[in-house]
Structure 1
Amino acid sequence: MAARTTVADRILQFNEGLAGTTLEVPPGFAVVNPFNGPQKDRVREVTTAFYAKYYGDDRPRRLVLGSSPARRGTAVTGVPFEDAKLLESETGFDVDGYAVSRPSAGFLHDVISRYGGRERFYADFVMSFVCPLGLVRTKPEGKEVNCNYYENKKLLDLLRPFLVETLERQLEFGTDASVCYCIGSGENFRFLTKLNEKQRFFGSIVPLEHPRFITQYNRGREEEFAEKYLRAFRGQGE
């Protein structure tokens, strides 16, 4: 009889699989993989502590999917949408030098607090990405910037098999696939919706505006968007 696994076990096993992943990308693009980079041992410590704390059970959870990890955030820490200082307080591991606090994380953690706090939120949801590894592109002057999987057709064509495979594997967390929440109501939502029409991963997909769009361009509407997130997560619709 196989040993019973927890959601934490499955997520950490998924991350170990990502550690051995090599992706082909077009010239000028690169992959940021926190699970096999120079900080991989610290990432393993932090992610193990985090998931053991909140996912040490077999309770079904719904997925909240962003597009791909930011190069100085999740693509370095390994924990979706958690910034360095929050992870430090949550896990007891010093992650200074590996990430910076992001406005997106601040908005999301305000929503999480209002939902009922981390324990309640993480008991109901797993936060992840359509593309679970970070992507960067090099600008003509040599500067690296964040990149989304959908920004370049050749990049998307090369990544598509990886995106399908990793979404299938994330459903194996024990996911409640009746609904998925998509962070990014533009291209990320369009791609995921089109893919779902073919693959039937989820019963429905709820689009939510990206926190960066909210905090950078709609500061005066943060309360409105936070309420929209909360209604969606509570299954209250519009």
Structure 2
Amino acid sequence: MTFSEQILNFYSTLHIAQKLPKGVEVLHPYKDEMAMALCKTFYNQYYGDQKKRFIIMGINPGRLGGGLTGIPFTDPVKLEKYCHIPNDLPKKAELSADFIYAMIEAFGGAKTFYKKFYISAVSPLGFMKDGKNLNYYDIPKLQEVLKPFIVTSLQTQLPFGIHTTTCFCLGEGQNYKYLKRLNDELQIFDTVVPLPHPRFIMQYKRKKVAEYVDLYLEKLSV
């Protein structure tokens, strides 16, 4: 099977069996026909091979980026402009996607970047509460009940063709602490390398975006 076929099969079978804390809703873009159609086009275009790639782990999808298109850190605007995949979704830009695609362009463009890297998330499904995005670690009980889902999801993705020498983590705080602790327990990756989260950069360090792009390029030169 190609990398793409394995990803699409993984997305189509994602399911959280655990009972979640009151008020927490699952953001599951892969139940949407349009999102799955866009995923099929995207992954067949960039992952229709059997090459090995390094994995970059985000937190979990947000409702305006990966939670809408199904493709991590890729909003409808970037999907059309940089990946050349037309779509009928509302053309709203998402902050994290703004940074990721500035970095991808500096790396050499989508084709070059995705040939080497596969972006996923500690939780490949997102969460919402009171109509707002929720991170898996925002509620201790949510983080606790999600562990079986998170572990199974990670282990399922490894056979796609993931290098286990280095895992890149988006976020130097809670996401990194959790992923590092999980890796210490499971002994999957030789090392987990933290990167400043794109949203943090765009919200608090916007004047230094070019410097952070350079930092990413340096860290990703594996």
After TM superposition, is the score higher than 0.5? yes
Take 1:218 and 1:92, find their aligned partners in 2: how far apart are those partners? 30
Superposed displacement of residue 136, structure 1:
1.0
CA distance in 2, matches of 1:104, 1:226: 13
How far 1:22 sits from its partner (Å)?
A: 4.4
Amino acid in structure 1 at the alignment position of 2:24: F
Report the counterpart of residue 19 of structure 2 in structure 1.
Answer: 24
Q: What is the deviation of 1:21?
A: 4.3
* 8 Å CA contact retained: 2:73, 2:96: yes
Given candidates 207, 212, 216, the residue that maps to 2:199 is: 212
- Aligned partner of 1:197 in structure 2 is 184
* 2:172 is the counterpart of 1:177: no
Q: 1:35, 1:96 → 2: CA distance?
A: 15
Matching residue of 2:5: 9
| TM-aligned CA deviation for residue 23 of structure 1 | 4.3
Are positions 1:42 and 2:41 aligned together?
no
Match in the other structure for 2:97: 105
Amino-acid identity (%): 36
Cα deviation per residue 1:96-128 (whole Å; 9 max; x = unaligned)?
A: 23x721121111111111111111100000011
Contact residue 135 and residue 149 of structure 1 kept, 8 A: yes
One-letter amino acid matched to 1:164: V
Q: Which residue of 2 aligns with 1:115?
A: 107
Q: Which amino acid aligns with 1:84?
A: P
Deviations 1:6-33 (A, max 9, x none): 1001100111111x54442100211110
Is 2:78–2:97's contact at 8 Å kept on the other side of the alignment?
no
Once residues 48 and 116 of structure 2 are traced to their aligned partners in structure 1, the CA distance between those partners, rounded to angstroms, is 13
1:14-163 matches, within 5 Å, as: 14-18=10-14, 20-36=15-31, 40-89=32-81, 90=83, 92-97=85-90, 100-138=92-130, 144-163=131-150
**Runs of 5+ unmatched residues, structure 1:** 139-143
CA RMSD after TM alignment = 1.4
In the TM superposition, residue 165 of structure 1 has moved relative to its aligned partner by 0.5
SS in 2 for 1:48: helix
Report SS of the residue matched to 2:56: strand
1:24 alignment partner AA: K
Kindly tell me the number of residue pairs found equivalent between the two proteins: 221
State the AA in 1 paired with 2:29: P
Larger radius of gyration: 1
Distance, in Å, in 1 between the alignment partners of 2:100 and 2:80 is 17
Change (3 A) 1:159 1:21: closer
5+ residue gaps, structure 2: none
Match of 2:211 in 1: 224
Shift of 1:72: 2.2
Residue 131 of structure 1 aligns to a residue in which SS?
Answer: coil
Distance 1:76 1:92 in 2: 14
Q: Distance in 2 between matches of 1:127 and 1:102?
A: 16
Contact 1:85 1:95 in 2 (8 A): no
User: Structure 1 residues 154, 21: CA separation in 2 closer, same or farther (over 3 Å shift)?
Assistant: closer
TM-score, normalized by length of structure 1?
0.89
CA–CA separation in structure 2 for the residues paired with 1:121 and 1:178: 18
